[in-house]
Amino acid sequence: MDFDFGSLLAFIIFGVTIGVVYGIVALGISLIYSGLDIVHFAHGEIYMFGAFLGLVLSQQLGIPYPGAMIGAMILAALLGMFIERVFYRRLTRSGGGYTVAGMGMIICGFGMSVALMNVAFLIWGADAEPFPVDFGIEPLEINDISIPPSYLLTAVVSLCLMGILNYFLRYTKIGLAVRAVAHNKDIAFLMGINVPLFISLIFGLACALAAAAGVLVGPMQSVQVEMGYLMLLKAFAAAVVGGFGSLPGALIGGILVGIFENLGAAYISASHKDIYAFLLLILVLMCRPAGLFGVVAKVKA
């Protein structure tokens, strides 16, 4: 097969587009991990709920696509804060801060995943639902490959969301308090920060990011109840590749996973597309067990 630079460029663009979506979901996983030191295994279902909420707001209520995305993010944030407050917080104990209950929280995450999926089945059924959106711009043509406008706008919107999140966490008082809670909950508590409230805020922010990813993916794929499982695995791979708990690493890891799997599908085998993300995960862990941007904690005797 002759090498075609234009086709390679198109596949890389496809990979970056889906990769930044992986990065958004991985950012949410990393935020929750930073706040509670656990992996939220129901995060894929929050992503699925966000996609369906965006579909309902856009197609049934007639809200424009940008407004539907914002609405889905707000509703998903409220859902995440409700889940954390009503279910997860009961598995924690409060002392000088906010300490998780370990394995109980993980099991609860699995249970919440199953519960949310079954609720979605009852509401929307098992059939895949199309999410048509007219963006009003022409596809980008590279050689014989056409890149739909949804892919281009997804990459732009995803990068904008990450820029807004970075500004929020670095340059606002609430964002600095969120970072303080994520870094050390006990010290944050002693500084007068309402740690349980900010844990809920972290959950809500992470769920809003997952919902945004679901609404962005909707026009590129059909929306269905089982879409969250595979996204959770890809986002988890992205978070581990970038360095678990590292927010910049989640973005870079997502882009690398997206590019790697798209190039593998294009030049090796499209039928094994979902395997390549985990091959990259294995390769990175063999070379850097903490991930590309992860830090290995040194424990002194």
Q: What is the predicted pLDDT for the residue at 3? A: 54
User: Is the predicted pLDDT of residue 2 greater than 70, yes or no?
Assistant: no
Q: What mean pLDDT value characterizes the chain?
A: 85
Q: Could you report the per-residue pLDDT of 64-115, keeping only the tens digit for each?
A: 999 999 999 999 999 999 998 888 877 765 444 455 556 777 788 889 999 9
Q: What is the DSSP string of 67-112?
A: HHHHHHHHHHHHHHHHHHHHTGGGG-EESSSEE--THHHHHHHHHH
Q: Do the Cβ atoms of 23 and 236 come closer than 8 Å?
A: no
Q: Could you report the per-residue pLDDT of 144-175, keeping only the tens digit for each?
A: 777 788 888 888 888 898 889 889 988 999 99
User: Is the predicted pLDDT of residue 21 greater than 80, yes or no?
Assistant: yes
Q: What is the predicted pLDDT for the residue at 259? A: 92
In angstroms, rounded to a whole number, what is the distance separating the alpha carbons of residues 249 and 181? 20
Grade residue 224 by pLDDT with cuts at 50, 70 and 90: very high
User: Is the predicted pLDDT of residue 195 greater than 50, yes or no?
Assistant: yes
Q: What is the predicted pLDDT for the residue at 100? A: 53
Q: Which residue has the tokens 């048509």?
A: 132
CA atoms within 13 A on the CB side of 96: 7
Q: How far apart are the first and last CA of the chain?
A: 57
In angstroms, rounded to a whole number, what is the distance separating the alpha carbons of residues 300 and 211? 41
Q: Could you report the per-residue pLDDT of 232-281, keeping only the tens digit for each?
A: 999 999 999 988 877 788 889 999 999 999 988 888 888 888 888 889 98
Q: Do the Cβ atoms of 231 and 60 come closer than 8 Å?
A: no
Q: Which residue has the tokens 């630079």?
A: 5
Q: What is the predicted pLDDT for the residue at 87? A: 85
